Amino acid sequence: MDANLLKGHLDLILLAIIEGEPKYGLEIIKEAQLRTDGYFDLKVGSLYPALHRLEQAGWLSGDFQPAPRGGAPVKYYRLTESGGRALRDKREQFSTFSRQVGRLTSGI
């Protein structure tokens, strides 16, 4: 996977994974791998700064809760209302982008 492609779509990927129910970092990484048959292998070093940035933007809210298997509390992230709007916008932008790239690369 080209890291530049991931970088340009990381917000969309993270918002889509978190949509539905709150998730903590390791769950987000595992969900990305599961949904893409291992294609997306998010690294902690890029995940947490991105989650923090999305939280600062108001698209995510996070709170610490007990870890599922005990141990130190973990921060669960959930989509905010503005995060839901951002996700819809980003899905639409990605769809348009994908269609247009397909038109350019289809050889027609």
Task: Count other Cβ atoms within 10 Å, centred on residue 79.
Answer: 22
Q: Bridge partners of 61?
A: 78
What is the pLDDT at residue 65?
Answer: 92
- Residue 101 CA from chain centroid, whole number: 22
pLDDT of 54 above 70: yes
Query: Above 80 in pLDDT, residue 7?
Result: no
What's the domain count of the chain?
A: 1
Residue 3: which pLDDT band, with cuts at 50, 70 and 90? low
Pick the residue with more confidence: 53 or 106? 53
CATH number at residue 74: 1.10.10.10
Amino acid 1: pLDDT: 63
Given a contact cutoff of 8 angstroms between Cβ atoms, the answer to whether 92 and 16 are in contact is no
Share the mean pLDDT of the chain: 91
Q: Domain containing 98: what range?
A: 3-105
Note the pTM of the prediction, 2 decimals: 0.88
Asked if the model's pLDDT at residue 69 lies above 90, the reply is: no
